[in-house]
Structure 1
């Protein structure tokens, strides 16, 4: 190994002497002789078939031999390594230290990287993260063989000082530096997570390219959750690294594949997660990748340096989560605390929640809906048509009244009925209120007696829907979890309302603690008519799941409704459970039913336990105020977190989303016992 390193040093030194690097004055001579020097270096290591050539660089060359920045600026060309040659920007060839690093990095790929792995339909961000890990892997392997070249590659990453930015290019450079120099502390959660995972794999003996595929997809997914924007046109790599053309084989007609993928995304309503569900094909030997329809994602970027910009430009934003459409008017703003489980502290006014009532939510017109459906049908082929899905949903909606609650809702109990017009004993509280009303000059309520009787227990239930981005995921039958949630909630509202109970349907999602949106889709006492159905159907899912803040707001709404004074009416018979001002007597139960697909998360929270513990605290506070909380989780992998939040008897795991309405009705019935 030492002999090889000495040979590398002698080769580069002899080429320096032969070319006379320090005596060059004309830039053209520098470029020509630098290319010859690269050829000699590659030939010395047995890669003489790879010839070096200069390419135009729009980035300005720093006069006087000043070090170039570690990252190329916008518009600077990248090094391109292919089976036929090594194309190096002129600005890189003018820097001797950078020129050495280019040769070392190209040699690392030529010795250790299988070329032409099919990129399939992986997104630009996933490809970039996987390429970064592959660069780190081969550079570390080369450093083990030739330590001198390893030091050269490490120094090339630390040329110049860069601000610790949070854009994709900055995070990628910070991760590359952290892997190249493990003692370099960065402090960023994502960077440290990637470095620790890389070191863990390396210590476990992972030396193959495919050993790091799962790590790359996980890191890309984390960037998507963090809302990091990956703009391929402005992604700048370290100057000595190539543009990854050596690593991937892209489809011949990238534009056609891109258009087909975008059409598929439109028909499926797929959320833009940063990770790619399509696995990388085996590296030995490379085989064409044939993803299924459910795994198809937006198109790849172009196969070489000259075509990479336009092809990647067409994908701009594909790694970004779909933005939530802006609502027509700002809603009411509330501030709620959040529990910090490590500090044991309830941080006051930590979360900003914006509430939107039914009037502020989008309600598409029938004409617009029909036009949208007709347009979708005309642009999608028969295999992608949504007509079968619409027919299925129509059948479900037509059968909404057929949903029957379990017999538990018919149970009644003996009660002492208070505030009666006649009875055996006097209701002391009602009598005191009547005396206060007389002193105040208002008409007292004549119902001041208590009598025994039996009465069906009524319940006021708030169904809280998780409207995060993951609710857009579709099952094998083509229905998304959001469709299942809406159907189940509407079916329960119809059945419970017919039985004399009060049901409201609300939803929530979040984008950091400063932007939690709470949507009152269907309020207590509203008619469940076509307008309510259209309003709920028009809602979209996006962003993340900050459950604790939404639970605190739902608790506050139920508490205010419970203690608000009710209107006086002439006849007690006119008080109906579904009326907007229906009385909430002390024996009427209040409950929150949460429908979610897993544990809470948000992009500004990196501790997986933080929001779980906060939601657990919010649930305990709600139960302390007499409000029952129950959860239906449609993700069996989140059973531990759901049990931690809601308790062993406060949750149900729904493995089949198709039975969600039945399971929701059973959970509702248990509240009546």
Structure 2
């Protein structure tokens, strides 16, 4: 996909990538809901190795709400919804203009000018002087990883839910396959992933009720969540796989995960994702995001939205630009 313009200087260095252990996820033998608990490693940057089976992850279905949040959001953003539908219908049905072709529908004027300049300078004239219009073949799977930690209460929680409603409207038009999971937890022993929409779920009443029911939870241990969602995303056959995070801050947890340790584990998990062919991207409302996101995601793989009220308006457009 064509990513956004660079949002800051990059300090990411994929050459430092270290592969996780082969048995990077194991089912728990605990007696309490054992079938739904998995263990994942965590990267200790100080020791330069993984802590094997360090984090216990449990998938939970987001508790649905009967409040008419989705309907209220669609009514509130009625004009934007109409514009989104037109934009994404055009994107779905559109053609891509290929330049510098040997044959095609039209003359590529820029290529022709360059070729004549080359000929005048005594160089060989290129024969790639045409443009072609080719139908866009979208083959995209996207996983949305939504921060539902305690810091998202109030305006942030409402903006995240509104953003998801508008995204779903757009993605249903495009036909891109998508899933939505919320994440939170407290300490490495209780990492929680909330199912909102799986790839094979229809965007119907159940999913809408789960979006309506998103509530702020606890902390933000990101590495284990990225590792698990990467595995889920890689079960989907698609030419392009995106892992898009919606967040309001840096990685943080109660048991020493905050600061450099959490940032480095998250960065390592993102490197693991990239090595499997997944493209991570982060959308944050943390105005300090420029301080740590280039190191975690790379210079062009994140964007900072300064005003939380702009999140619902901006997110769908960011997705359009990412996948155009």
Q: Report whether the alignment pairs 1:514 with 2:189.
A: yes
Counterparts of residues 251-650 of structure 1 (less than 5 Å): 332-356=36-60, 360-364=61-65, 366=66, 393=73, 395-396=75-76, 401-402=81-82, 403-404=84-85, 405=87, 410-412=94-96, 454-472=135-153, 474=154, 480-562=155-237, 584=238, 588-605=239-256, 608-650=259-301
Structure 1 position 536, deviation (Å): 1.6
Contact 1:413–1:455 (CA under 8 A) maintained in structure 2: no
Taking the aligned partners of 1:331 and 1:469, their CA distance within structure 2 comes to 27
Report the RMSD for the aligned CA atoms in angstroms. Answer: 2.7
CA pair 648-511 structure 1, distance change in 2 beyond 3 A: same
User: Matched residues in 2 for 1:502 and 1:397: separation?
Assistant: 24
Counterpart Cα distance in 2 of 1:643 and 1:458 = 28
TM-score with structure 1 setting the length: 0.35
What is the 5 A alignment of 1:79-158? none
3-state secondary structure, aligned to 1:485: helix
Report the Cα distance in structure 2 between the residues aligned to 1:390 and 1:559, rounded to whole angstroms: 30
CA contact (8 A) 2:73 2:165 kept: no
Q: Which residue of 2 aligns with 1:65?
A: none
The C-alpha deviation readout for 1:624-664, integer Å capped at 9, x for no partner, is: 11111100110102321122111110100001122213332
Deviation at 1:667, TM superposition (A): 2.7
Deviations 1:76-121 (A, max 9, x none): xxxxxxxxxxxxxxxxxxxxxxxxxxxxxxxxxxxxxxxxxxxxxx
Deviations 1:298-349 (A, max 9, x none): xxxxxxxxxxxxxxxxxxxxxxxxxxxxxxx787111111111111112221
* 1:523–1:606 Cα change, 3 Å: closer
Give the match's secondary structure for 1:671: helix
DSSP 3-state at the match of 2:319: helix
Q: In structure 2, what is the Cα distance between the partners aligned to 1:331 and 1:413? A: 50
Aligned to 2:304: 653
**Secondary structure in 2 aligned to 1:628?**
strand
Matches of 2:252 and 2:195 in 1, distance apart?
A: 21
Structure number with greater CO (CA < 8 Å, separation at least 6) is 2
Distance 1:491 1:400 in 2: 9
Structure 1 ranges of 4+ moved more than 3 A: 389-394, 396-401, 404-414
Range that drifts further, 619-628 or 454-463: 454-463
Q: Pick closer, same or farther for the CA change 1:641–1:523 going to 2, 3 Å.
A: same
Question: Helix, strand or coil for the counterpart of 2:283?
Answer: strand
Asked if the contact 2:74–2:81 (Cα under 8 Å) also holds between the matched residues in 1, the reply is no
Aligned residue for 1:598, secondary structure, equals coil
- 1:400, distance to aligned residue in structure 2 (A): 7.2
Inter-partner Cα distance in structure 1 for 2:223 and 2:279: 15
1:609 Cα offset (Å): 0.5
| Higher normalized strand content (fraction of residues) | 2
| C-alpha distance 524-394 of structure 1, shift in aligned 2 (>3 A) | same
Q: How many Å separate the matches in 2 of 1:411 and 1:605?
A: 50
In the aligned structure 1, how far is the partner of 2:144 from the partner of 2:70?
24
Aligned length: 253
Partner secondary structure for residue 54 of structure 2:
strand
Aligned equivalents of 2:71, 2:310: Cα separation in 1: 18
Other structure's SS at 1:456 match: coil
**Gaps spanning 5+ residues in structure 1: where?**
1-328, 371-388, 415-452, 475-479, 563-583
Contact 1:337 1:351 in 2 (8 A): yes
Cα offset, 1:614, TM superposition: 0.7
* Richer in helix (by share): 1
1:591, 1:671 within 8 Å by CA — same for their partners in 2? no
What is the CA distance between 1:401 and its match in structure 2? 4.2
Alpha-carbon distance between aligned partners in 1 of 2:302 and 2:179, rounded to the nearest angstrom? 20
SS in 2 for 1:655: coil
For residues 209 and 79 of structure 2, the distance between their equivalents in structure 1, rounded to whole angstroms, comes to: 17
Report the counterpart of residue 117 of structure 2 in structure 1: none
Instruction: Tell me, yes or no, if the aligned pair for 2:64 and 2:210 is still in contact at 8 Å.
Output: yes
Distance in 2 of aligned mates of 1:517 and 1:608 = 20
